[in-house]
Amino acid sequence: MFFTDRADAGRRLAAALRHVATEDPVVLGLPRGGVPVAFQVARELGAPLDVIVVRKLGVPYHQELGFGAIGEGGVRIISEDIVRQARVAPEDVAAVERSAQEALGRQAHRLREGRPRLSLVGRTAIVVDDGIATGATAAAACEVARAQGASRVVLAAPVAPPDAVAWLRGAADEVVCLSTPRAFRAVGEWYQDFSQTADEEVVALLAEAGTHAPRPTEAEADVEVEVEVEVDRGALRLAGDLALPEAAGNTGNSGAVVMFAHGSGSSRRSPRNRAVAAALNRAGLGTLLFDLLTPSEEADRSNVFAVEPLAGRLSDATRWLRSTYAPGAIGYFGASTGAAAALLAAARPDAEIGAVVSRGGRPDLAGPWLGDVRAPTLLIVGGRDTTVLELNRQAKAELRCENRLDVVPGATHLFEEPGALDEVAELAREWFTRHLANAAR
33 Cβ neighbours under 8 A, 6+ residues apart: 6, 129, 130, 131, 196, 197
**Is the whole-model pTM more than 0.75?**
no
- Domains, the chain, in order of start with CATH, read 6-211 (3.40.50.2020), 218-440 (3.40.50.1820)
Q: d(Cα 156, Cα 271) in Å, to the nearest integer?
A: 11
The values of phi and psi at residue 426, to 5°, are -70, -40
**What pLDDT does 79 receive?**
81
The SS3 assignment for 62 reads strand
pLDDT at 117: 87
State the Cα torsion 297-303-309-313 to the nearest 10°.
40
pLDDT (tens, 9 = 90+) of the chain, 441 residues, equals 789 999 999 999 999 999 999 888 999 999 999 999 999 999 999 999 999 998 888 888 776 677 888 888 777 778 888 888 889 899 988 888 888 888 888 888 899 887 888 888 889 999 999 999 888 789 889 988 988 889 999 999 999 999 999 999 999 999 999 999 988 989 999 999 999 999 999 999 998 887 444 444 443 434 443 445 555 545 556 677 888 865 444 445 568 999 999 865 566 777 778 888 888 988 889 999 887 776 666 556 565 567 888 898 899 889 888 888 867 899 999 998 899 999 999 999 999 999 999 999 999 999 889 999 999 999 999 999 999 999 999 999 999 999 999 999 999 988 888 788 889 999 999 999 999 976 655
Sheet holding 174-179, edge to edge: 49-51, 26-29, 124-128, 152-159, 174-179
Q: What is the pLDDT of residue 213?
A: 40
Residue 229 in contact with residue 320, Cβ under 8 Å?
A: no
Contact 254, 440 (CB under 8 A): yes
For residue 432, the SS3 value is helix
Question: What distance in Å separates the CA atoms of residue 291 and residue 25, rounded to the nearest whole number?
Answer: 23
- Give the model's pLDDT for residue 348: 94
Question: Could you tell me if 41 and 77 are in contact, meaning their C-beta atoms sit under 8 angstroms apart?
Answer: no
Pairing of strands 174-179, 152-159: parallel
Please, how many CA atoms are within 13 Å of residue 422, restricted to the half-sphere of its CB? 10
Q: Which helix (H) or strand (E) holds 171?
A: none
Cα distance between residue 22 and residue 91, in whole Å: 46
